[in-house]
Amino acid sequence: MQKEKQDPQKEYPELQHLNPNQEQQPPGVEGKMQPRADHGEQTYRGSGKLKDKVAIVTGGDSGIGKAVCIAYAREGAHIVCAYLNEHEDANDTKQWVEKSGRRCVLVRGDLASEAECKKVVDAAVKEFGKFDILVNNAAYQGKAVENIEQMDYDRVLHTFRVNIIAMFALTRFSLPHMREGGSIINVGSIQAYNPSNAILDYATTKGAIVTFTKGLAQELVDRGIRVNCVAPGPIWTPLVVSSFPAEKLAEFGKNYPLKRPGMPVEVAGAFVFLASADSNYVAGEVLGVTGGRPLA
């Protein structure tokens, strides 16, 4: 059932007192988080806005990606869920999509590899013959560090490969199979506008994603494909518990106007909007879902 709306500062009171002693190793597992994240499993109710569409969602096993998979399925879309190696989380996503009456294809692979990016697109075409929506959500965020001297070359290179170079590859492989009316949605971050030095490599890729979105939108508008970006703020996902130590987790999101982290389901509606006809006149935009902190 749909949750009754209330003061947004008072939503999810369990986040006000979350257990900070739960640091994980990347990429993190949703099932071990305390409290468990809300992806809309029990609360998101669709209205057919994406009926019979097909969506590729990278990083769809947990966090924001999982919430998008569930929301899109409730709106009538079939899902291709790409993930790294979190099999249990990915299978849980698949079950929720199928409970919504939609098909779900799981594709395992490391998007730091161009070949693995192509494999995701090929799986969608093989299963459905086409697809309408590409959500570039998968991202790597390394452990928080004290300074740039602790960010070695391999870490920075891997962050860029997963977070932005993969978007170039996935988009390039996708375009021959996307028709007029298609939508590409990239996932940026408040970090693009208010970067943290502890995760500067991650923040820098998010700035690149904003530029990528704005430039790509100008190119693809003549093909009838809209490109936009969602920029989340502090959202309670495995990315967080696999990056920050206990002292950071204890304060996570509390310095934002809404004084708490967001749940993944609270971001999902932005993706539905940007994929649906409701946003037909929106292209090249960055939609912030930041708990009240302005993007600029």
Active site residues: 202
Tokens 């930041």 belong to 290
User: Under DSSP, is residue 281 helix (H, G, I), strand (E, B) or coil?
Assistant: coil
Strand order in the sheet with 286-289: 104-108, 78-83, 54-58, 133-136, 183-187, 226-232, 286-289
At residue 205's C-alpha, the angle toward residues 235 and 138, to 5°, is 55
Q: How many residues does the chain have?
A: 296
Question: Distances from the Cα of 167 to the Cαs of 30, 58, 123, 191, 289, in angstroms?
Answer: 24, 10, 17, 18, 21
Q: For residue 27, is the peptide bond before it cis, meaning its omega torsion is within 30 degrees of 0?
A: yes
Tokens representing 215 are 């430039």
User: Under DSSP, is residue 140 helix (H, G, I), strand (E, B) or coil?
Assistant: coil
